Structure 1
């Protein structure tokens, strides 16, 4: 808005107000007196321009974005803790129960037994928020002494941990809330309720899916992968723990079923021409990273997997000069996705 208010333009305007009968050349007394003031004014216009941008959600960031959208009730999601499945064995290698709140560690990450799922099986919660614990599995070392415990291990990620919500994700939720208000148990209200549970990364709602007053809520986790049974139950308990009774967020009479999305496995085969200095394994790993980024954006957004998009991702991978014989699940066409399906990357086989 104030990009034209530069030092040179401001100084020129100031000098124009000085009579031509006086020396206004660079180095003169008048010039040297006005130049510092022009610099300060130019700096002031720059800061004013920045401050104006911080007022509006589309151009704001950080704490200023939080303040700009506070009126709407949409707040930034805090970092959440990873939840994993822990198994505990006695000296006879049989599953055994442990005290709830017992603490364990793998390397520098510590966990607490939050809930008993079944005999010797517990929901373990990382004591630090964020995604650091999402891919950590293996032997757990007890911090607290537990009688007769011989072995403990983490085996499965139940609910991914997440970092502090990014500006772009928060901005998008704000836009959705303004453009599609959630109210009175409408479709968008169910989406809002499901996304309030830590670890839920996407939602699709199917009204009247099994007759009048029925609602199906299909979710994915924070990694845009099919949700675990634990996460599904957490969402179910929050929205409608007793069907139709209105004891959760859903209104009385609404029978809500929460389910996980179904993973549609995508296997990719292609022949590639490599640039000099690149290895097939390195290119394959780079392609997998690009596919993962695409997969997260495509979940609940795309109705099919486009061969053209996969080909573009392949051709845009560093080290790939060209490709041919691209197959998705053994075929040369697009792959359709069902209403409750999300893509999951399977095998990626490249040849030269």
Structure 2
């Protein structure tokens, strides 16, 4: 019996259930109709009992990881030493110039705003003499992740000319959802994070809150060497700024620090942080739609469904395969067809090719190569039956 099935048993305990149960114990010689003395005396208690049954049903659901939500799911995670991943702040790289076109001088803490009716506010984190500035958004979450454009000064700036965000160097993430956190709790293994093992490095990188996932390759270039392959919070290639942040936190690269225990890495470990290898996968297929949906609308929805599928696969990129000590990630034709078939109005998908072949695609993971799938060109042919 599942928690939902068990909790559903409380659904029968309604106001009618309690008042009828009580009235059945009252002799028929007494008036039991609605509005009678005995009915009016029992009704408030029956109503309270119904509310109590609802509370008991909720308490039961909140006591299981499979059905708990919000703070109750947090409690379940704490029992396994896990906490929900919090939302983070996006960091961006911008160029600043003065009215003469020379690099502008800004200070740590100076504030700038994006354009628009509902702007994002950024604080200067790292100014630079060459006019390149690292700023951090004041708003938590992913909303600022894709803003690239002009900046306006909020803090008064003398002779300020222009400010432009050129790159979202460290994308933010939203707070971990109930579904994602629940999956992480239920998928937790008994691996102990200790002494620089794989679980320890995963925990180190995750604690930085700037990456979406990491793959750990121990002894990749000899004893004591560790390679960390990371992706950003958008589950995409990390920027050089993000790679450098993780590298300096885990093991600074100056000669005095390498292998000497400066940073989070254990003494004796030489850590290299890199980005994965992008593998672009074109997809082509023939689409058949019914008479309820415009073909162009179905085609656009199919492309979005494909993009969502690739994103979902990248979200598990850093997970070790079950029953194995290897990373494994495949793109399955059957799953892609099911994803497209779920688009409203689509009745059939044929001639599906992934990377030009009628076969599933498996990413390669070795000590030298770690592939991250990216959706390439999507070519959709219209079934002539759509035009009949």
Question: Which segment is superposed worse, 306-315 or 27-36?
Answer: 27-36
The whole-number CA distance in structure 2 between the counterparts of 1:156 and 1:251 is: 33
Aligned pair partner of 2:30 in 23, 28, 32: 23
1:1-352, aligned counterparts within 5 Å? 1=7, 3=10, 4-15=12-23, 17-18=25-26, 20=27, 22-23=29-30, 25-27=32-34, 29-89=37-97, 98-107=106-115, 108-116=119-127, 119-147=130-158, 149-177=160-188, 179-241=190-252, 242-276=257-291, 278-299=293-314, 300=317, 303-339=329-365, 340-352=370-382
Q: Give the aligned CA root-mean-square deviation in angstroms.
A: 2.8
| Cα distance, 1:203–1:118 mapped onto 2, change above 3 Å | farther
Q: Which runs of 5+ in 2 are unaligned?
A: 1-6, 320-327, 383-388
Q: Report the secondary structure of 1:128's partner residue.
A: strand
| Cα distance, 1:147–1:29 mapped onto 2, change above 3 Å | closer
Q: Displacement, 1:296?
A: 2.6
| Aligned 8 A contact 1:284 1:348 in 2 | no
The whole-number CA distance in structure 2 between the counterparts of 1:9 and 1:152 is: 68
The whole-number CA distance in structure 1 between the counterparts of 2:311 and 2:191 is: 22
> What TM-score, normalized to structure 1?
0.87
| Aligned 8 A contact 2:309 2:336 in 1 | no
The whole-number CA distance in structure 2 between the counterparts of 1:207 and 1:255 is: 10
> What TM-score, normalized to structure 2?
0.79
| Cα distance, 1:270–1:72 mapped onto 2, change above 3 Å | closer
The whole-number CA distance in structure 2 between the counterparts of 1:334 and 1:147 is: 59
| Cα distance, 1:276–1:256 mapped onto 2, change above 3 Å | same
The whole-number CA distance in structure 1 between the counterparts of 2:30 and 2:232 is: 71
Q: Displacement, 1:43?
A: 1.9
| Aligned 8 A contact 1:161 1:199 in 2 | yes
| Aligned 8 A contact 2:111 2:153 in 1 | yes
Question: Which segment is superposed worse, 187-196 or 60-69?
Answer: 60-69
Q: Which runs of 5+ in 1 are unaligned?
A: none
| Cα distance, 1:11–1:143 mapped onto 2, change above 3 Å | closer
Q: Displacement, 1:17?
A: 4.4
Q: Report the secondary structure of 1:250's partner residue.
A: coil
Number of residues paired by the alignment?
351
